[in-house]
Structure 1
């Protein structure tokens, strides 16, 4: 009798950092066949970057799931996904160095994830973040990670925790998207130049934070999304800043 292969399990993971670096948290969710969350977990990271939070969320998800069951992982972090699906083989060949010869950022986490992926069937699926009618699993993980970053406490279905609070409709108008800084981008966002012929939206920060350049920004200051979170528009990749992704490619 031929054993039937277990059905693929759908899951999602996400990380959040309020300041990047700042108070950070991670979360993962596992769903049934109807995309209804049946298990979830979230936890604090103290002060960490968004990239560390994203990778930690994936590491915790892989650790908490059965390696013999095929897994679909939905993520909104292109950095974390590319790190473990695109750049990782090259990093290993180069002795855990980037194409520029520098040590791989967050190497311990990447190596642990590589170990957890070995010998198991995992399909990664990118889903855009903070979309109206977006992916429900990613939205749940996003809210749980954000809450863990703010309160710095563990939560989850095994702990009997209530589900993370839904975003307030008034705070997220139709078409808006919310970033890790807590700011909301909507129709009032102003376009800024981003490289040749490209534009990117900026928005007013709801909370103070720190840019990738090391300088801080104040609540109410115009900020823009970069590869590591939020910061000064001039520090975005292609506009005066160099993304870590470029070093790892």
Structure 2
């Protein structure tokens, strides 16, 4: 469990599906009252829809937090939020049928979340996804869910992964990437890594070569992660997200 009794937890939960349905994953990140990330967790779902991934992320976060601890959950899924706050009462009255008469999708997940929310002080807050100057916790959860969907491997502080996932620049509120220059215009000795942008790390992390880097250091995109400019891992290419 994360947090202690009566300590307010600020968290974000997100899901990812590469194909919808496709390779899917879920993730959450929890912070203290000042919004400083403390713990995170992510996991694979095999082939699933984005809605299943979003609901699973919320379910796993609720399972990992003490019932007596006030919790603020930031999410970019309006479906998941509305399912458990607005639509749920009507679904129950209608015998778990939608207004159109069809069966409610993902009923087991929704029922499980309903049980976990019962008697708890939980506030669900909508935050837009992939925005400049967007919510940093949501950006971390988004990246962790995307990584889990791609690798189909669990990760998180409970598994010894204490470095937070580093969001892609456009998801972490960093300035937009500059357009790449043609090779003939690129200057030598500028620390170029095959055209990949170099940014300042907002959080500590680990380079694909296995060496860690602190927050504030310069990093660049290396394969499916981020690491030191000039690392041999740059030969792997930028990779797909």
SS where residue 123 of structure 2 aligns? strand
Mapped partners of 1:39, 1:20: distance in 2: 28
**Aligned equivalent of 1:66:** 66
Mapped partners of 2:126, 2:12: distance in 1: 10
Deviation at 1:167, TM superposition (A): 4.1
Where structure 2 has 5 or more consecutive residues not aligned to the other structure, the ranges are 180-241
Distance 1:120 1:24, change over 3 A: same
SS where residue 33 of structure 1 aligns? coil
**Aligned equivalent of 1:110:** 110
1:16-55 residue pairs with structure 2 within 5 A? 16-55=16-55
The question of whether the paired residues in 1 share the 8 Å contact of 2:139 and 2:167 is answered with no
Deviation at 1:101, TM superposition (A): 1.1
Deviation at 1:163, TM superposition (A): 3.4
1:192-231 residue pairs with structure 2 within 5 A? none
Distance 1:148 1:15, change over 3 A: same
Mapped partners of 1:171, 1:140: distance in 2: 8
The question of whether the paired residues in 2 share the 8 Å contact of 1:143 and 1:164 is answered with no
The question of whether the paired residues in 2 share the 8 Å contact of 1:29 and 1:39 is answered with yes
The question of whether the paired residues in 2 share the 8 Å contact of 1:16 and 1:142 is answered with yes
The worse-fitting range, judged by mean Cα deviation, of 165-174 and 82-91 is 165-174
Deviation at 1:160, TM superposition (A): 1.1
Distance 1:123 1:43, change over 3 A: same
SS where residue 55 of structure 1 aligns? helix
Computed over aligned residues only, the root mean square deviation of the Cα atoms, in angstroms, reads 2.5
Mapped partners of 1:59, 1:126: distance in 2: 16
The question of whether the paired residues in 1 share the 8 Å contact of 2:44 and 2:153 is answered with yes
**Aligned equivalent of 1:127:** 127
Distance 1:100 1:33, change over 3 A: same
**Aligned equivalent of 2:97:** 97
The question of whether the paired residues in 1 share the 8 Å contact of 2:134 and 2:172 is answered with no
Mapped partners of 2:168, 2:121: distance in 1: 37
Please list every run of at least 4 consecutive aligned residues from structure 1 whose deviation after the TM superposition is greater than 2 angstroms: 162-176
Mapped partners of 1:61, 1:11: distance in 2: 8
Mapped partners of 2:93, 2:168: distance in 1: 47
Deviation at 1:170, TM superposition (A): 8.7
**Aligned equivalent of 2:213:** none
Where structure 1 has 5 or more consecutive residues not aligned to the other structure, the ranges are 177-186, 188-249
Is 1:56 the equivalent of 2:56?
A: yes
Distance 1:165 1:118, change over 3 A: closer
SS where residue 28 of structure 1 aligns? strand
The question of whether the paired residues in 2 share the 8 Å contact of 1:131 and 1:175 is answered with no
TM-score (norm 1): 0.65
Deviation at 1:6, TM superposition (A): 1.7
Greater relative contact order (CA < 8 Å, ≥ 6 in sequence): 1
Deviation at 1:165, TM superposition (A): 4.3
Distance 1:169 1:120, change over 3 A: closer
